[in-house]
Amino acid sequence: MPRPQNNRVVYEPPIFTDFKPMGVKGISLEQVLLSLDEFEAFRLADYIGLSHEEAAGEMEISRPTFTRLIEQARKKIADFIINGKMLNIDGGNIHFRNNIIKCQSCGQMFRMKFNETITECPACHSKNILNLAGGFGHGKCCNHKNKNKGGNYAKR
């Protein structure tokens, strides 16, 4: 029986989770599922430019595990681009370090720590707000995980 996977740390939830080629109905496309930990590995290595060692430390995993994740992510992203498939980001054993709240009324987005609470939009005072981490089923679990910890690599 394989060993259970440990949770990986993801800086914050992605703002966009579904991508497809223009001019093609999504219902007719084959899907590629990129897990949240593969997304984070791709973000840290290819967007921010961290070494595998630095990125593994940020995600609180071993360097060999990080290398496997980034290789899986790159293969899936290449499949999405080359074969014109639909890419969906979701799933994986993760905890978020930070959260993003989006106001559904004015469109403003606010980055925040999990121990902070917001009940209305600071810009327009609407109560119609969306918790992006909550959309992935995260919230209290991530607040508990991140007590006294802070990530070093904000979205650049």
With contact defined as beta carbons under 8 Å apart, do 55 and 61 qualify?
Answer: no
Q: CB neighbours of 19 closer than 8 A, spacing ≥ 6?
A: 80, 86, 87
Mean pLDDT within 89-95: 90
In percent, the amount of the chain with pLDDT more than 90 equals 60
Q: pTM for this structure?
A: 0.84
Mean pLDDT within 36-55: 97
CATH domain 97-145 topology: Rubrerythrin, domain 2 (2.20.28)
SS3 6: coil
- Model confidence at 155, pLDDT cuts 50, 70, 90, reads very low
CATH of 8-94, one of 3.40.50.150, 1.10.10.10, 2.120.10.60, 3.40.50.300: 1.10.10.10
What is the rounded CA–CA span in Å between residue 60 and residue 17? 23
With contact defined as beta carbons under 8 Å apart, do 97 and 10 qualify?
Answer: yes
Give the pLDDT score at 156.
Answer: 42
- Report which of 111, 23, 38 is spatially closest to residue 74, judged by C-alpha positions: 38
Give the pLDDT score at 61.
Answer: 94
What is the rounded CA–CA span in Å between residue 135 and residue 41? 20
Residues, the chain? 156
pLDDT digits (tens, 9 = 90+) for 66-81: 999 999 999 999 999 9
What is the rounded CA–CA span in Å between residue 20 and residue 83? 11
Domain(s) of CATH 1.10.10.10: residues in the chain: 8-94
- Model confidence at 136, pLDDT cuts 50, 70, 90, reads confident
- Model confidence at 134, pLDDT cuts 50, 70, 90, reads confident
Burial class (CB in 10 A: 0-12, 13-18, 19+), 97: buried
Torsion of CA 44, 52, 10, 142, to 10 degrees: -150
> Which carries the bigger pLDDT value, residue 17 or residue 134?
17
| pLDDT higher than threshold 70 for residue 148 | no
